[in-house]
Structure formats: C-alpha cells, structure tokens
Amino acid sequence: MNNIKIAVIIPAFNEEKNISKVVENINKIKRSHGFDITPIVINDCSTDDTFKVALSCGCIVLNLPVNLGIGGAVQTGYKYALRNNFDIAIQVDGDGQHPAEEIPKLINPIFNGDADIVIGSRFIEKTGFQSSNIRRVGINYFRYIHQFLVHVQFTDSTSGFRAINRKALVIVNDYYPDEYPEPEAIILFAFNGLKIMEVPVEMKERQGGVSSIGTVSGIYYMIKVTLAIFFTYMRLKSKKI
C-alpha cells in the first residue's frame, strides 16, 4: 500500500487564506496513515498571493499563466499526475470544503480494486454541510439525467471531491470538460466502462473565498452542463458505433 503514489490535486483561484491549511491537513494524513501522498496545488492565475503561500508550504505548485477555470486547472493536475507516474489522483477543492480526514475513504475502494472512480458524497449519510437549496435542486436534476443516459444514480454528482485511478487518468489526459466539469465527467467515465462508486463523506462550509457558482449563474450552470452532457453523450456514442 505504501508503494502506491497518490497525487492530491488542489485547484486554487484566490485561496491565499485557505490553501496552507488545506495542504497542512493533507500532510497530516500522510504522516498518520503512512500514505505516499503528494499535494499538488494548481494556481489558476490568482490575483492574490496564492502562489507564494502555496510555495511556502513546500508542495508542488503548478502556476498557470492564464486563467483556465476549474476544469482546465484540474486537468493540468491530472496531466502532471499521469506523466509523473502517480497511481491515484484525488481532487480536493482549495477552499477547505473537503476535509483531508476523509481521503482514506475515497482511496480504499481503489486500493481494493472495487472501483476506478470514487466520488465523495455529502448526501448519503446527510451529515455535515448540506449545500444551498438551489444547488440541491441542480443535483437532483442531474441525478435524473445520469439515470436516463448511463443508468446509474448519483446522490452528489457535482461533488469535486473524488479519487480516480490510472485508467481514468489516461482518459482525462485527453479530454476533460472546462467549466463545471463534475457532472459531465461522470458521463465520460461511465461511457468508458469505468466503475464509479460513491462513498459517504462529511463536507464543511467553505472557510473563505467565493463559490464558483453564484445564484444567478446557477441557471446558466444547469443549461450549460445539460448541453455539455448531451453532446458528450452523443460524441461518445458515435465513437462506439
């Protein structure tokens, strides 16, 4: 178990207040569990001191020269992980919403070969921070879309707290959605025949910074993701035939 290399990918945009805490918590897990975990911060062209703060934590920092958005930033981390021979990549938000203590829950199913992708869901046991009402409406909506298209139900398809193995890394190296990538990535994984599993985790309310999704852009989010899911579905379907 100790020779398995794990990358923790932390996309960060203006997270100077949270980033050191997030990295520190991951390092704590590394010490207490003896995992070979490497935190990798992707600074998505922040306008504050995120880059300097992350560097001072002593972790690997990938500094994007232009702002790519969450999907592009996370994909940078995936590309890095694939090239540097990591076996598992975990995505953790830079704002402290995803507690590092829950990481073992995400990687155990991959260790045991039960899943290729593990998604941390806050709605299975309904403990911890439960998100805003509007977001929950969106999550329910995506549940039906996923059920309809790939016949799998997810309780928390917008969760960015996930672990993926090398098989999935090869796929996201080639293509990963730009904006709001989480629900669309599920279609991508399911269509490539990867096993996706949800595990219950407890999330926290963001410690600072601003959510990537406001109330007004929530509707844009749903339309955009619906279109993206539909076209990804069509693309993958035509490839298979």
Partner 1 sequence: MERIQIIAIATSIAFLLYIGRLIIRGRLREEYAIVWIVCTIFLIAFSLWRNGLEVMSHLFGIYQAPNLVFTAAIFALMIYLLHLSVVISKLQEQNKTLAQEIAIIKQKIEEESKTN
Contact set with partner 1 (CB under 8 A): 42, 60-66, 68, 72, 75-76, 79-80, 83, 178
Give residue 155's identity as a one-letter amino acid code. Answer: T
Shortest spacing between CB 63 and partner 1, in angstroms = 6
What is the distance between the alpha carbons of residues 209 and 57, in angstroms, rounded to a whole number? 19
- Which lies closer to partner 1 via its Cβ, residue 136 or residue 224? 224
Shortest spacing between CB 154 and partner 1, in angstroms = 27
- Which lies closer to partner 1 via its Cβ, residue 42 or residue 145? 42
- Which lies closer to partner 1 via its Cβ, residue 80 or residue 161? 80
- Which lies closer to partner 1 via its Cβ, residue 71 or residue 109? 71
Shortest spacing between CB 44 and partner 1, in angstroms = 10
Shortest spacing between CB 157 and partner 1, in angstroms = 24
- Which lies closer to partner 1 via its Cβ, residue 61 or residue 225? 61
- Which lies closer to partner 1 via its Cβ, residue 81 or residue 106? 81
List C-alpha distances in Å: 42 to 27, 60, 101, 124, 167.
17, 9, 21, 29, 22
Give the β-pairing of 60-63 and 36-43: parallel
Shortest spacing between CB 73 and partner 1, in angstroms = 9
- Which lies closer to partner 1 via its Cβ, residue 109 or residue 177? 177
List C-alpha distances in Å: 224 to 51, 141, 210.
30, 13, 20
What is the distance between the alpha carbons of residues 219 and 62, in angstroms, rounded to a whole number? 32
What is the distance between the alpha carbons of residues 91 and 40, in angstroms, rounded to a whole number? 10
Shortest spacing between CB 178 and partner 1, in angstroms = 7
Radius of gyration of the chain (CA): 17
Strand order across the 36-43 sheet: 60-63, 36-43, 5-12, 88-91, 162-165, 117-121, 196-200
Shortest spacing between CB 188 and partner 1, in angstroms = 16
Q: Extract the runs of DSSP E, i.e. beta strands, from 80-178.
A: 88-91, 117-121, 162-165
The token pair that represents 14 in the structure block: 């203006």
The token pair that represents 180 in the structure block: 């709001």
Which neighbouring-strand residues pair with 39?
A: 8
